[in-house]
Amino acid sequence: MSATLPWTLFALGVGHILYGCVKFRAPLLEAITSGVVGKFSVPEVRRTAFWFVMFGPLLMLAGQVAIYAASIGDVHLIRLVGAYLLGVSVVGIFALPKSPFLAGIAISSLLLASSYGYI
């Protein structure tokens, strides 16, 4: 299996961080300039910004695991990463229908399809 597809998951994580830093620039800067520790609980937008940006490294980690699995030919591990991402993405779509969780569904579906040899 090519490592190209797993790299898209890593890129999604990087994009999550970058987009979060742009979209939530003001609340992030406010929390940082006011001392960071304990500054992300209120107002709500700071908490949202924190969790949005912090989800990026988790996507990057999942991408790195998938990249490693592809490099050693471990289709079971790729299937596991795809299944978890699909589960999180489906829950995300139900919770926030107008969200970009569709990207997670697309990537996870492709990971699963490739782990079963369909692509």
Domain tally, the chain = 1
Residue with tokens 């592809």: 70
Write out pLDDT tens, residues 31-78: 989 988 988 877 888 988 888 999 999 999 999 999 999 999 999 999
Give the gyration radius of the chain's Cα atoms: 16
Residues above pLDDT 90, as percent of the chain: 72
CA 44 to each of CA 54, 58, 71, 99: distance values in angstroms, whole numbers, following the listed order: 15, 22, 41, 18
For residue 41, which phi and psi values (nearest 5 degrees)?
A: -85, -35
pLDDT at 118 over 80: yes
For residue 116, which phi and psi values (nearest 5 degrees)?
A: -95, 0
SS3 content of the chain, % helix, strand, coil (to 5): 80, 0, 20
Q: How far apart are CA 119 and CA 110, in angstroms?
A: 8
Q: Is the pTM of this model over 0.85?
A: yes
Give residue 60's domain range: 4-115
| Mean pLDDT, residues 73-102 | 94
Q: What is the pLDDT of residue 98?
A: 86
C-beta atoms surrounding 58 within 10 Å: 12
